[in-house]
């Protein structure tokens, strides 16, 4: 009980070393990997996301918490069973073609990882074809495209069109400051997140979890 | 000469220009690469936008050098052209500038995060802004505006870099989001934290711009006014962008914007201008509103 609480609090407060130490202790004590992951690391990240969405905490705190969570996940990974590896939904993420603004995308990627997704980050300025080909290769469940600029968000429509052309089952999730639900509908994307927390909520909804 | 602008600010409400980036987009220059390239590739277009803003009543136009610091230019592989793109940017504004009006050299964020979250040291970031400021000052701007800063630490380093580059009137403008607990930067800094730190670093004037529309800026102006005695510049967006058939529009009308601008002035702004989505039409409406209110 004490160990889970320690891990939870370490992630909540962005203490990277404490999170890793807590997870190591849990593994040493023979605790279930799933329990440390869900009740310790991911539960804390959930609250971090909620506080961020409410404007109670800001980007630096979220990034430190995400780093703490990642440190814990890294220790757990070798212990994941095959079924744990497989059932994680896979998401491809990147910024739209021409857009090099990566802070928002980075944040969403970390929050998605914190929510239990397997995240493949393609970086910035990603061509629609790269999104779609990688999604086909990796059998991704979701393609997430981020844009800060009104000029580059237009390229999101190409991702949707290309994905449909290839008849991929992956859903397209879009996000970024200039976007609206109206635009999401217009281009036929499957979901849109106004901020990182909503992006995670929407991603969960899209995979039906 | 260098102190001219600070004297003028104390005497009347100063009008800044509106957007450059969204005007370039409207002109069909929706390039995915840095808009600074247009200073060299399409000089007549950039000069024309500056001219239209002066003609609309702007006392100050801001150079097309927002992303002109080396770290930001490097993201587009343009860092080797830093000197040329910035010099040319100042020259185009200077060319359009009538007697008695001003040119503000623009400095925007570098797009990198400071260590330990990011990988840039404070020294490297300060030097990044120093390098751009040195060129802007040498090219003959009347003042420098550090703007759309979402991180106070970065803004302070930019102010320090400019101060090291030369003695020039300096305005530092942050961008805030609205939360239920008030206005904060993306990094979580309050209005008072920002004004205190920026003044201490040596900013002569403070400001807030982008992110919010003119209505939200009325409250923000009150908060900033309460936090500082320095002259303040407010540059709202023209509402939120919306899209129709793949093209992007900003939702607010020039007359709504101008009506809010009067309230922003009443809330304590000494200088007014526009950010994303605003056009010469907005500045003209703003100017007319201010003129009518001060008769």
Least CA distance to B73: which residue of chain A?
A100
Cβ neighbours around B3 below 10 Å, total: 11
Whole-number Å distance between alpha carbons of A86 and B40: 53
Q: What's the confidence (pLDDT) of residue A149?
A: 74
How confident is residue A53, by pLDDT bands cut at 50, 70 and 90?
confident
pTM of the model: 0.88
**C-beta separation of B237 from B250 below 8 A:** yes
Q: What's the confidence (pLDDT) of residue A107?
A: 84
**E strand segments, chain A:** 90-95, 118-121, 142-146, 171-175, 191-193
If one compares A172 and B26, the residue with the highest pLDDT of the two is A172
Q: What's the confidence (pLDDT) of residue B30?
A: 62
Whether pLDDT at A83 is above 70:
no
If one compares B107 and B242, the residue with the highest pLDDT of the two is B107
B122-149 mean pLDDT:
98
Q: Which domains does chain B have, with CATH numbers?
A: 4-293 (3.20.20.330)
Whether pLDDT at B295 is above 80:
no
Least CA distance to A184: which residue of chain B?
B243
Whether pLDDT at B18 is above 70:
yes
B46-71 mean pLDDT:
97
How confident is residue B81, by pLDDT bands cut at 50, 70 and 90?
very high
**C-beta separation of B246 from A157 below 8 A:** yes
The mean of the pLDDT values for chain B is: 93
The mean of the pLDDT values for chain A is: 90
* Chain segment B250-274, per-residue pLDDT in tens: 778 999 999 999 999 999 999 999 9
* Chain segment B153-168, per-residue pLDDT in tens: 999 999 999 999 999 9
Please name the residues in contact with B260: beta carbons below 8 A apart, sequence gap of 6 or more. Answer: B213, B214, B215, B217, B218, B236
DSSP string for residues in B78-146:
-GGGHHHHHHHHHHHHHHHPPTT-EEEEEE---S-PBTTTSSB-HHHHHHHHHHHHHHHHHTT-SEEEE
**C-beta separation of B119 from B112 below 8 A:** yes
Whether pLDDT at B53 is above 70:
yes
All residues of chain B having their beta carbon less than 8 Å from the beta carbon of residue A186 are 243, 246
**Probe site for chain A from B25, B30, B32 (most A CB atoms < 10 A):** B32
Q: What's the confidence (pLDDT) of residue B199?
A: 98
Q: What are phi and psi of A108, to 5 degrees?
A: -65, -40
The top-level CATH class assigned to A88-207 is alpha beta
Least CA distance to B178: which residue of chain A?
A55
Q: What's the confidence (pLDDT) of residue B1?
A: 44
Residue % of chain B over a pLDDT of 70: 95
How confident is residue B244, by pLDDT bands cut at 50, 70 and 90?
low
Q: Where exactly are the structural domains of chain A?
A: 2-80, 88-207
All residues of chain B having their beta carbon less than 8 Å from the beta carbon of residue A55 are 177, 179-181, 184
Q: What's the confidence (pLDDT) of residue B2?
A: 44
Whole-number Å distance between alpha carbons of B136 and B143: 9
Residue % of chain A over a pLDDT of 70: 96
* Chain segment B203-235, per-residue pLDDT in tens: 999 999 998 889 999 999 999 999 999 999 999
CA–CA min distance A64, chain B (Å) = 8
Q: What's B186's DSSP letter?
A: T
How confident is residue B40, by pLDDT bands cut at 50, 70 and 90?
very high
Instruction: Judge: A150–B241 Cβ closer than 8 Å, yes or no.
Output: yes
* Chain segment B170-211, per-residue pLDDT in tens: 999 999 999 999 999 999 999 999 999 999 999 999 999 998
How confident is residue A197, by pLDDT bands cut at 50, 70 and 90?
confident
CA-closest candidate to residue B14, choices B22, B4, B29, B25? B4
Instruction: Judge: A152–B32 Cβ closer than 8 Å, yes or no.
Output: yes
If one compares A149 and B215, the residue with the highest pLDDT of the two is B215
Structure tokens at B17: 């220009």
* Chain segment A61-73, per-residue pLDDT in tens: 998 998 999 899 9
> Domain A2-80: which topology?
1.10.1240
Least CA distance to B32: which residue of chain A?
A98
How confident is residue B22, by pLDDT bands cut at 50, 70 and 90?
confident
How confident is residue B47, by pLDDT bands cut at 50, 70 and 90?
very high
Residue % of chain A over a pLDDT of 90: 57
Instruction: Judge: B117–A99 Cβ closer than 8 Å, yes or no.
Output: no
B241 Cβ under 8 Å from any chain A Cβ: yes
Q: Count Cβ–Cβ pairs < 8 Å, chain A vs chain B.
A: 68
**What does each C-alpha distance from A193 to A106, A177, A186, A198, B283 come to in angstroms?**
14, 10, 15, 5, 33
A95-114 mean pLDDT:
83
Q: Is the peptide bond before B34 cis (omega within 30 degrees of 0)?
A: no
Whether pLDDT at B120 is above 80:
yes
């Amino acid at each position: 009980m004490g160990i889970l609480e320690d891990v939870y609090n370490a992630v909540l407060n962005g203490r990277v070393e404490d999170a890793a130490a807590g997870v190591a202790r849990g593994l040493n004590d023979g605790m279930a990997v799933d329990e440390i992951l869900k009740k310790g690391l991911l539960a804390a990240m959930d609250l971090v996301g909620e506080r961020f969405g409410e404007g109670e905490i800001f980007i630096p705190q979220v990034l430190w918490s995400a780093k703490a969570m990642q440190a814990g996940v890294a220790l757990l990974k070798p212990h994941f069973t095959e079924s744990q590896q497989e059932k994680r939904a896979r998401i491809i993420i990147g910024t739209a073609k021409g857009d090099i603004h990566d802070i928002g995308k980075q944040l969403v990627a970390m929050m998605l990882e914190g929510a239990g997704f397997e995240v493949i980050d393609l970086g910035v300025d990603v061509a629609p074809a790269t999104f779609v080909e990688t999604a086909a290769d990796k059998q991704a469940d979701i393609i997430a495209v981020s844009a800060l600029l009104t000029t580059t968000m237009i390229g999101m429509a190409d991702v949707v069109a290309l994905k449909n052309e290839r008849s991929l089952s992956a859903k397209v999730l879009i996000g970024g400051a200039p976007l609206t639900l109206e635009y999401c509908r217009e281009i036929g994307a499957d979901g849109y997140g106004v901020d990182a927390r909503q992006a995670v909520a929407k991603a969960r909804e899209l995979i039906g979890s | 000469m260098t102190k001219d602008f600070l004297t003028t600010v104390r005497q009347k409400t100063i009008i800044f220009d509106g957007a450059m980036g969204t005007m370039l987009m409207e002109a069909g220059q929706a390039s995915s690469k840095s808009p600074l390239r247009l200073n060299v590739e399409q000089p007549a277009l950039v000069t024309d936008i500056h001219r239209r803003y002066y003609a609309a009543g702007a006392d100050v136009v801001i150079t097309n050098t927002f992303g002109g610091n080396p770290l930001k230019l490097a993201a587009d592989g343009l860092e080797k052209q830093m000197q040329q793109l910035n010099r040319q940017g100042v020259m185009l504004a200077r060319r359009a500038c009538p007697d008695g009006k001003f040119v503000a050299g623009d400095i925007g964020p570098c797009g990198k995060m400071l260590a330990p979250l990011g990988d840039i040291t404070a020294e490297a970031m300060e030097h990044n802004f120093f390098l751009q400021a040195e060129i802007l000052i040498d090219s003959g701007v009347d003042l420098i505006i550090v703007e759309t800063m979402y991180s106070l630490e970065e803004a302070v380093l930019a102010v320090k870099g400019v101060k090291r580059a030369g003695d020039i009137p300096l305005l530092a403008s942050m961008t805030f989001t609205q939360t239920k607990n008030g206005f904060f930067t993306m990094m979580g800094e309050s209005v008072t934290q920002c004004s205190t730190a920026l003044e201490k670093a040596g900013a002569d004037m403070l400001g807030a711009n982008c992110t919010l529309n003119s209505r939200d800026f009325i409250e923000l102006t009150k908060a900033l006014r309460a936090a500082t005695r320095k002259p303040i510049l407010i540059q709202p967006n023209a509402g939120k962008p919306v899209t129709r058939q793949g093209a992007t529009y900003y939702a607010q009308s020039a007359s709504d914007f101008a009506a809010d601008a009067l309230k922003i002035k009443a809330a304590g702004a000494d200088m007014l201008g526009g950010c994303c989505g605003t056009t010469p039409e907005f500045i003209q409406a703003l100017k007319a509103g201010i003129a009518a209110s001060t008769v």
